[in-house]
Amino acid sequence: MKTAYLAILLLLFSYAEAKPNLEPPIEEFVKLEKLAGRAGAFTTKESFPKDYFLIPKNLPFLVGLTLYDPNSSELGLSQKQIDAILKVRKNLMDRSTPIALKVKELELEIMNKMVFEKDKAKARDLYPLVDEVAKLRVELTHIHLECIESVRDTLTKEQFEELLDYGVVNMF
């Protein structure tokens, strides 16, 4: 019982000490949300532009983990590393946002033609639009992979291992 109590105290103490390297840029998130516009009719919550990548769930978003995660200060990043990761973030956003907007536009077009327009489209007629969505999602994921590589290469081996310790939710 004593060990469990100490473990809980240690966990609470370490959480209280944890802080992000940077506060999340809320104003940028709001700006992105406005740029993205309303979510589609069948979408409950949208994470723009992340939701438009080909692999939005199973690849890490290392910029967020290294800069804004509550545990990120534990990485001991230098200002030079933080600046490099911010540059990666800007590059990612500059490249991915217009593509994600195009994906969303095409997906909404497909939805409208298939579901809402008076003369509903035949599935086969929409295949070229679906192929274009797939191509753009692949392009977004290429950008994301480059981003992961850039952040990974900015970190020391030890920092990357620490990032994995707090960044991996449940691998097995």
Chain segment 32-68, per-residue pLDDT in tens: 999 999 999 998 889 999 999 999 999 999 999 999 9
pTM over 0.75: yes
Structure-token pair, residue 71: 């545990």
Q: Work out the mean pLDDT of the chain and round it to a whole number.
A: 89
Structure-token pair, residue 111: 């939805």
- Among residues of the chain, what percentage have pLDDT more than 70? 88
27: number of CA atoms within 13 Å, CB side?
0
What distance in Å separates the CA atoms of residue 7 and residue 11, rounded to the nearest whole number?
6
Sign of CA dihedral 43, 48, 52, 57: negative
